[in-house]
Chain A
Amino acid sequence: MNPTWSRFNITSIVLGFAFLYLPIVLLVVFSFNESKLVTVWGGFSTKWYVALFHNQGLMDATWVTARVAVISATVATVLGTLAALTLTRYTRFKGRMLFSGMVFAPLVMPEVITGLSLLLLFVAVGLDRGFLTVTLAHITLTMCFVAVVVQSRLVTFDRSLEEAAMDLGAPPVKTFFQITLPVIMPAIVSGWMLAFTLSLDDLVIASFTSGPGATTLPMKIYSQVRLGVTPEINAACTILIAVVAVGVIIASLANKRREVQRQRDEQAAQRG
């Protein structure tokens, strides 16, 4: 036990985590409320979940959101990985400053600006707003997050592995696919998951760039929230939270197992 792990440290962590989790826990608890009044407990019930599955508008929105998220996360992962390679491997080329600026700026750019500017682009090139435009917008936003995640793995990557493969005659492309890619794979997977959840989550950019027939789940939830808090939305939110939480936990457990395996392999290699 670390002697510096004082009572003060423990208290601040406990309070901090209570602050982070209590609102979410309350939201989940009240999704099982019998009463229509969200903040008065009227007994346990799952009727809001049943109502949810009969809400066609909400189900349609969920389907649209899931498709947008899968497609945009996949394309964003490819583009983001390329961007990360560019940032770490090609340190000198014309316009590198501009490039790194374009990768980092979207991370902090207020969403209203990104959303408005993308919408005006789509209007300028005459692209009808809908499924395609939301997907393109989400790719642009999320590829930057993927780039940062993958880049942080690439900077600690041992390049002598690649050099060894190339000395043995493997062409660069083959080296990339057989050596580099498997090593940075965990970062790419977590990049994909981050992109997926960001896309699942986004309200502002989707509101600007989406059109009729491509209403996403956050847009639907938002329009209902404005009318008031209902247990049905609590139920929808609970399902979303559960899906993401299960995904993240599985991914991190898999990651941990891979890490343990890798360490074992490395030790074995050093001994052998």
Chain B
Amino acid sequence: MSNAAVTAAATSQATDAGKSALARLSAAFIGRLVIIIPYLWLVFFFLIPFIIVFKISLSQTAIAIPPYTPVLDFGDGLSGFLAQLKQLSIDNYTWLTQDALYFNAYVTSVIVAAISTVLTLLVGYPIAYGMARAPATLRPTLLMLVILPFWTSFLIRVYAWIGILKPEGLLNQLLLATGVISQPLIVLNTYTAIFIGIVYSYLPFMVLPLYSSLEKMDYSLIEAAKDLGCPPTSAFWKITFPLSVPGVIAGCLLVFIPAVGEFVIPDLLGGSQTLMIGKTLWNEFFANRDWPVSSAVAVILLLLLIVPIMLFQRAQARAQEQDK
């Protein structure tokens, strides 16, 4: 800023005290707005919808538009409200416990997500480690190469695997041509295909946090351990791995939580033989048009994920503190 501008600013500040009080007031007001606008947006479009989901999960299915009985509408005054309160039912939840399909879908989803998370970690760790040890000039390029597939459509990446995995697909063609197998492998429409799909689609989410914690590591620690006669494997388990634990936790949560409710991968790669809760919710909503039951499915899924989600949020907050 030029001297003249500084002087002008200083004089205007000194001479116009009233105006500066007003400016301070408006600055405080703008500061408020910075908080209030995104806050209200998220309350309205993120928090309130969950309350509505919960509310509708307690209502009954009806042949109407929208297809459920009205619940907790304040339009009829207090007496109408109380009458509706009596109509609330946990029927949808009882229904979920009675039909083994839902229970199986929840359990299968958690198991599939857990196995996929471990597989993603096993595939992602060597990649992240290799990247962190790469020459510093090469690292930005490697980092971009990991992020780039993440920018291409999720749907497209899952779709690409159909052509590879199907019975007459490229994988079987290759294996048959090289004589590794004599019968085509059935991979598409099995849980194996879902594992491959999840590992493939979520790999960047695992590699990035692992890389950022491995890159920060002080490599002289390993050299010191080596000098003191520690074999490389035990140096890895005693030094490298413990130091990368924050990255492991963040990566695993980033893969596990969305994978439990995944819809696209089980639908396109898993076929009709596999059972996962995201697909169940989708079918309940789009095929059966049963909004109250799909809301109940969503509420239970959310309850199932609330602990991992809170762990994720705490890990995020801690990482943020460390950055400061």
Interface residues of A (CB under 8 A from B): 1-2, 4-6, 8-10, 12-13, 16-17, 19-21, 23-24, 26-27, 30, 38-39, 79-80, 82-83, 85-87, 89-90, 93, 95, 98-113, 116-118, 120-121, 123-124, 136-137, 139-140, 143, 147, 151-152, 155-156, 165, 168-173, 197, 200-201, 203-204, 207-208, 218, 221-222, 225-226, 229, 233, 237, 240-241, 244-245, 248, 252, 256
Contact = CB atoms under 8 A, between A and B. Distances in A.
B244 interface: no
Given A100-B313, A102-B42, A106-B46, A168 B6 contact: yes
Contact of B145 (A17, A79, A107, A256): A17
A117 B52 contact: yes
Given A5-B134, A86-B39, A169-B10, A19 B50 contact: no
Given A110-B262, A110-B263, 15 more contacts: A2-B133, A13-B134, A19-B123, A105-B309, A105-B313, A108-B308, A110-B261, A117-B49, A120-B291, A139-B41, A139-B45, A140-B46, A229-B166, A237-B159, A248-B148
A110 B135 contact: no
A201 to B, nearest CB: 5
A113 B297 CA distance: 9
B313 A39 contact: no
Contacts of B203: 16, 19-20
A233 B159 contact: yes
Where chain B touches its partner, the secondary structure class is helix
Given A5-B134, A9-B129, A121 B164 contact: no
Contacts of A99: 35, 38-39, 42
Contacts of B316: 100, 104
B323 A155 contact: yes
A260 to B, nearest CB: 12
Interface string B159-181: 11111101011100100000000
Interface string B277-300: 010011001100001001100100
A16 B123 contact: yes
B168 A121 contact: no
A121 B295 contact: no
A256 to B, nearest CB: 8
Given A140-B42, A225-B159, A101 B313 contact: yes
Interface stretch (B83-91, B92-100, B252-260): B252-260
Contact of B263 (A1, A19, A111): A111
Nearest to B33: A82
Contacts of B170: 26, 39
A92 B146 CA distance: 37
A241 B159 contact: no
B34 A86 contact: yes
Interface in B124-167: 124, 126-127, 129-131, 133-136, 140, 142, 144-146, 148-149, 151-157, 159-164, 166
